[in-house]
Amino acid sequence: SDLKTADLLPAADPYGQGNTASQALLARAGTNAPVDWVMVQLRNNASPTTVVDEMAAMVLANGKVVMANGESPLYFADAPRGQYRVAAWHRNHLAAMTATSTQLGTGVSSVNFGDPALSMYGTEPRRILGGIAVLWAGDVDGNGTLRYTGQDNDRDPILTRIGGMVPTNSVTGYHPEDVNLDGVVRYVGAANDRDPILQGIGGTVPTLTRTEQLP
C-alpha cells in the first residue's frame, strides 16, 4: 500500500468508469489499506469476448477486492443472474480470466485469483510467487504484451518518464511506469521498474515477449 501511504492513490478511478473512492476507504490502514484500482469484468460464459458488466474496484493489502465505497462483495447491477467468467486487470499488469464460469445472482460467490489451483484461461496467465498467483507486471503501455526490447517495448517509457537522459533519475507519482507500485519510477538501482519486465518475459532472453491471455 505504498501509493496510499505516500498519498498518491487517486480518489477517481483511472479506467474512465467514473467511480470515486470513499474517504473512509482511502483512510484505511494496515492489511485493510487500499493498494490500487483494478478492473473486474463479468464475461459471457459461452462467448467470453463479450463483457456483460465491469467495475473499477479497489484491491486491499490483504488481497480482497472491494467497491469504491468500501463495501463488499462487488455488486454488478447490469448483469442478470447467470453463469459468468471473471476477468481482472490492472493498469500496468496483464489481465487474466477464469477458464470456467461462476454462478452469480443466487448468493455471494468467491473467486480467488491468488489461488494457483484456480482454473484460468490460456497458457501461464498468472505468475506464481511463493505459492500465490499474481498478475504479470510490466505492461507499461497497456497494449497487452510485455516487451523488454524492440518496437513498443515497456522499458523505454520508464526512461522517458524520468527524463530520458540520466538513467539514475527518479520520479515520484501515480504513473503507469511505476511497475512495482511503490510510488517512484526508477530505471536502475534497487526497486527499479525495469527488472520486473525482464523477469516477466523469462529473465534471460531480452527479445522474448509475454502476451495477455484473454480471448
Note the pLDDT tens digit of each residue in 28-83: 999 999 999 999 999 999 999 999 999 999 999 999 999 999 999 999 999 999 99
- Whether the CA torsion 213, 113, 202, 122 is positive or negative: it is negative
Round to whole Å and give the CA distance between 113 and 116. 8
| Nearest of 78, 90, 89, 69 to residue 20 by alpha carbon | 69
pLDDT over 70, % of the chain:
100
φ, ψ for residue 128 (rounded to 5)? -105, 120
pLDDT tier for residue 1 given thresholds of 50, 70 and 90: very high
The answer to whether 129 and 135 are in contact (CB under 8 A) is no
Determine the pLDDT at residue 188: 98
**How far are the Cα atoms of 13, 80, 124, 139 from residue 18, in angstroms, in the given order?**
7, 22, 32, 23
| Nearest of 103, 106, 87, 94 to residue 43 by alpha carbon | 87
Average pLDDT (106-121) is 96
| Nearest of 171, 14, 24, 31 to residue 93 by alpha carbon | 14
Average pLDDT (173-187) is 98
| Element at 175 (helix H, strand E) | none
DSSP helix/strand/coil, 146: strand
Spatial CB neighbours of 29, under 8 Å, sequence gap ≥ 6 = none
Round to whole Å and give the CA distance between 178 and 142. 13
pTM over the 0.75 mark: yes
Spatial CB neighbours of 159, under 8 Å, sequence gap ≥ 6 = 167, 187
Q: What is the mean pLDDT of the chain?
A: 97
The answer to whether 157 and 141 are in contact (CB under 8 A) is yes
Determine the pLDDT at residue 135: 98
Determine the pLDDT at residue 180: 98
Average pLDDT (118-132) is 97
Residue that is written with C-alpha cell 480482497 in the block: 64
Residue 146's DSSP bridge partners are 210
Determine the pLDDT at residue 184: 98
The answer to whether 87 and 136 are in contact (CB under 8 A) is no
